[in-house]
A and B are shown apart, each in its own frame.
Chain A
Amino acid sequence: MTTLSNDLEAGRYFVPVPSRWPIRSAVALLFLVAGAALWLNRGGSGPYVLGIGLAALVLILFGWFSDVSGEGAQYNSQVDRSIRWGMAWLIVSEVMVFAGLFGALFYLREISVPDLAAGGRSADLWPGFAGGWPVTGPGLPGDLKAMQAKGAPTINTIMLLCSGAAITWAHHAAERGRRAQLVLALFVTLALGTAFLYNQSQEYRHAITALHLTLSQGAYGGTFYVLTGLHGVHVAVGATMVAVMLIRALMGRITPHGHLGFDMVTWYWHFVGIVWLLLFVIVYVI
């Protein structure tokens, strides 16, 4: 935390000079979604437009963050607090995304499927539908086997918990200025995160090839892949952030008094871990 108390007394808040990164990212996002809309509707140019948008976005984020990472020295403690508040509220918004999806899972499992199986009018439409969970739904053939908590998901849970401990260790090391420990702990975090992603992809392969579970298999298939998939994307983003921190640590840019960005990565990583715990219990165990 760069506390420039003189600066705060002078009351000078860091206001950046004009920047073109925001509008560039807006244009890149337009390409990205326009490409996606084209692709989904079988427009031949869709993948290319989307690709351009995505590549531009990656470059823009790289450029933008490079600019920002050099600004730390200009931040006073008030800016520091602003960034922490901002990250906290960003995580709240992410929590609401998962809350919405968990809500959808709850509704399907506890209201929609039992209603369809309850007899009455649905019995005329779908005679013989017994409900239960996991289920594809009354109009789709095939019975499902539930994804087992044993095996890959349990290993993944342990790995993500360990990675949470590892990043906390890295944080302690950063505050004490122990660079070797910091690098090691970040490496462990990254390795565990990557192993999680690999394990998850293997589990998907198993689900698709052995259990024939796909996204289009009704209530269970849809909720399983959307929830775990979105979480997986978050792990990938988090792992990328940890990798960047590892590079910064190797370059000696993470110091006991200047690791705001690293703090934010820690928060994000713990958020990803906590969401996984909920997922593990709700999607796999119960």
Chain B
Amino acid sequence: MATVLAPNQPLPAHEQKKGLARWISSTNHKEIGTLYLVTGLAMFFVGGAMALLIRLELFQPGLQFMQPEFFNQLAALHALVMIFGAVTPALIGFSNWMLPLMLGAPDMAFPRLNNMSFWLIPPAALLLMASFFVPGGAVAAGWTLYPPLSIQMGPGLDMAIFAVHLLGISSIAGAINIIVTILNMRAPGMTLMKMPMFAWVWLVTAYLLIMIMPVLAVAVTLLLFDRHFGTHFFNAAGGGDPVLFQHIFWFFGHPEVYVLILPVFGMISTIIPTFARKPLFGYRGMVSATLVIAFLSMAVWAHHMFTVGMPAGAQVFFMYSTMLIAVPTGMKVFTWLATMWRGSLTFETPMLFAVGFIFVFVAGGVTGVILAVAAVDVQLQDTYFVVAHFHYTMVAGTLFGIFAATYYWLPKMTGHMYDEKLGQWHFWLTMIFFNMTFFIQHFLGMAGMPRRIPDYPLQFAEFNMISSIGAFGFGFSQLLFVYIVVKCIRGGPKATGQVWDGAQGLEWTVPSPAPLHTFETPPRVA
């Protein structure tokens, strides 16, 4: 381990460990990226199973399968697992795989730190899963961990707090790695304004992560102190305020949703030009829109708290700042549309998911603007309208983007083409069942059905049944995705280095599959 390379000695390209040792000690960005992606996929099914249990209980009114306590645990853990265990690792996995290839770098800036960032995730996942089996069970206070409820819960909540700490260390280390890679590892000649859009969004995302993950650590640490060390940060008897937790949490929580969507904006901005066979329309506008979103995202957090009793002035400020985000986001949407305008479009699976993303993500964005109106939000707070809104951004937004990116880059990773026909099936099944599950929840929310409750009045029965059928369809369609990925890894038509005839960028100049070590000497970019 202590052996290091003498300068100018070639990298040990094929001196590689085998079996488990290869994976646990890897310093290679592609191997670590693969670890991230596989973990994300596995946790996607864990979190998905929880979602299906929730929808199973909600299939009919009344309590059929579980007690409310367990339902609450499922709801909280579904969110924590999906956000921190599935989606974030998947996004970081793609950044690991692709950023060094796109920038012409030999690896990430800090390869060992990269390995540690990944290996902190399984212990955190273990803590979260084990918390189901301790007295009192897992977190049942929602993923937002609001006090006073979270102060009264059992050991499961401490485990969640410590899991969040581990994930925080992982995210901060990962973000530092990404930001330094982008700032310092670009090939000679690649100025910031020549970088691929995917690198730009990751620069901004990593910055956001560095700014917000420490704040989440503060929130949960203060919670831990209130629980065990007798402080009163969130207790009015001691001069504290439960609302303080909400402020700290959402100062993290709102930028976090941009952490989850900005990388996807980068993926879509990469995929659409390829299949429109035109360069991205308005690159500069796209960069500035990303910066503006990052800037605004840190000044909108209290729109999650319109009903806690804020001064009217604060409500108005957060209402308008939230609406303002629609402007740069709209810029991005129009930029994608303008990129497709009069292009030579073809609709392979990545493009289907990218176009599908625009369609459904805009729906999620528009409901976001509706919810931003403080007066309307008072009616819709904590209803299924909110659930529908953020699943349109997180599932139809982030997850569709991850699917698009998987189909787009899988040939580069594996050296094989995926099964196009099955890919198209996967897209259409996902699209239809997704909308079947969530579109209808808007109406449930407007009719007043509250979220995070295992039972509901009879008038919501039909819509819930349809939503549950959609959820099961959506969940089982994803098995097809696993089949396609495994099939592609194991074989299939040989992929060329270029893979897609319209694809631009350094990652397409290396062979498919990309060799373990690429760009040992940096390419020159004109």
Chain A positions within 8 Å of B, measured between CB atoms, are 4, 6-7, 10-23, 25-27, 29-30, 33-34, 36-37, 40-41, 64, 66-67, 70-71, 73-74, 76, 78, 81-82, 85-86, 89-90, 92-94, 96-97, 99-101, 103-104, 107-108, 111-113, 115-116, 122, 125, 135-140, 214-223, 226
B5 interfacial contact with A, CB 8 Å:
yes
Residue of B nearest to A25 (CB): B116
The reply to whether A219 and B240 contact each other, CB–CB distance below 8 Å, is yes
The reply to whether A26 and B25 contact each other, CB–CB distance below 8 Å, is no
B111 interfacial contact with A, CB 8 Å:
yes
The reply to whether B115 and A19 contact each other, CB–CB distance below 8 Å, is yes
**Which of B8, B214, B215, B217 is close to A12, meaning CB atoms less than 8 Å apart?**
B8
The reply to whether A18 and B17 contact each other, CB–CB distance below 8 Å, is yes
Distance, CA A109 to CA B232, complexed state (A): 13
Given A16-B112, A18-B27, the answer on whether A101 and B218 have CB atoms closer than 8 Å is yes
Distance, CA A171 to CA B41, complexed state (A): 49
Residue of A nearest to B10 (CB): A12
The reply to whether A86 and B8 contact each other, CB–CB distance below 8 Å, is no
Distance, CA A272 to CA B411, complexed state (A): 49
Apart from the given pairs A17-B1, A26-B122, A94-B214, 15 other A-B contacts in the complex at a CB distance below 8 Å: A12-B11, A16-B27, A20-B24, A22-B115, A23-B24, A40-B224, A66-B2, A82-B180, A85-B184, A93-B172, A93-B211, A104-B233, A137-B235, A218-B237, A219-B239
Distance, CA A22 to CA B35, complexed state (A): 14
The reply to whether A137 and B184 contact each other, CB–CB distance below 8 Å, is no
The reply to whether B210 and A74 contact each other, CB–CB distance below 8 Å, is no
**Which of A6, A17, A71, A138 is close to B236, meaning CB atoms less than 8 Å apart?**
A138
Query: Closest 7 A-B residue pairs measured CB to CB?
Result: A139-B237, A216-B230, A137-B239, A219-B239, A100-B218, A22-B116, A218-B238
Distance, CA A73 to CA B172, complexed state (A): 28
Residues of A within 8 A of B231 (CB): 215-216, 221-222, 226
Residue of A nearest to B178 (CB): A89
Residues of B within 8 A of A219 (CB): 232-233, 238-240
**Which of B213, B217, B239 is close to A138, meaning CB atoms less than 8 Å apart?**
B239
Residues of A within 8 A of B236 (CB): 112, 116, 122, 125, 137-139
Q: Separation in Å of the A250 CB from the closest CB of chain B?
A: 22
The reply to whether A26 and B116 contact each other, CB–CB distance below 8 Å, is yes
The reply to whether A100 and B248 contact each other, CB–CB distance below 8 Å, is yes
The reply to whether B27 and A17 contact each other, CB–CB distance below 8 Å, is yes
Residue of A nearest to B231 (CB): A222
Size of chain B's interface in residues, with CB distance under 8 A? 86
The reply to whether B232 and A140 contact each other, CB–CB distance below 8 Å, is yes
Residues of A within 8 A of B26 (CB): 18
The reply to whether B176 and A108 contact each other, CB–CB distance below 8 Å, is no
**Which of A12, A21, A26, A29 is close to B7, meaning CB atoms less than 8 Å apart?**
A12
The reply to whether B7 and A76 contact each other, CB–CB distance below 8 Å, is yes
B107 interfacial contact with A, CB 8 Å:
yes
Residues of B within 8 A of A11 (CB): 520-522
- Residue from A33, A71, A108 having most chain B Cβ neighbours under 10 A: A33
Q: Separation in Å of the A241 CB from the closest CB of chain B?
A: 18
The reply to whether A17 and B5 contact each other, CB–CB distance below 8 Å, is yes
The reply to whether A23 and B119 contact each other, CB–CB distance below 8 Å, is yes
Residues of B within 8 A of A96 (CB): 210-212, 214-215
Distance, CA A143 to CA B26, complexed state (A): 58
Residues of B within 8 A of A214 (CB): 230
The reply to whether A74 and B5 contact each other, CB–CB distance below 8 Å, is yes
Q: Separation in Å of the B380 CB from the closest CB of chain A?
A: 26
Given A12-B8, A222-B232, the answer on whether A27 and B238 have CB atoms closer than 8 Å is no
Given A112-B244, A215-B230, A222-B232, the answer on whether A100 and B237 have CB atoms closer than 8 Å is no
Given A10-B8, A104-B248, A116-B236, the answer on whether A22 and B180 have CB atoms closer than 8 Å is no
Distance, CA A29 to CA B522, complexed state (A): 36
The reply to whether A7 and B112 contact each other, CB–CB distance below 8 Å, is no
**Which of A73, A74, A93, A101 is close to B213, meaning CB atoms less than 8 Å apart?**
A93
**Which of A19, A21, A89, A138 is close to B179, meaning CB atoms less than 8 Å apart?**
A89
Distance, CA A14 to CA B6, complexed state (A): 9
The reply to whether A226 and B222 contact each other, CB–CB distance below 8 Å, is yes
15 residue pairs A–B, Cβ–Cβ below 8 Å: A6-B8, A15-B5, A15-B111, A16-B111, A17-B27, A21-B112, A23-B24, A26-B120, A67-B2, A108-B239, A112-B239, A137-B236, A216-B231, A217-B238, A219-B233
The reply to whether A40 and B521 contact each other, CB–CB distance below 8 Å, is no
Q: Separation in Å of the A223 CB from the closest CB of chain B?
A: 8
Residues of B within 8 A of A215 (CB): 225, 229-231
The reply to whether A108 and B166 contact each other, CB–CB distance below 8 Å, is no
Distance, CA A16 to CA B225, complexed state (A): 40
Residues of A within 8 A of B123 (CB): 26-27, 29-30, 33
Residues of B within 8 A of A101 (CB): 218
Within 8 A of A (CB), among B148-182: 154-155, 158-159, 162-163, 165-166, 169, 172, 175-177, 179-180
The reply to whether B2 and A70 contact each other, CB–CB distance below 8 Å, is yes
The reply to whether B7 and A216 contact each other, CB–CB distance below 8 Å, is no
Residue of A nearest to B221 (CB): A226
**Which of A15, A20, A85, A122 is close to B180, meaning CB atoms less than 8 Å apart?**
A85
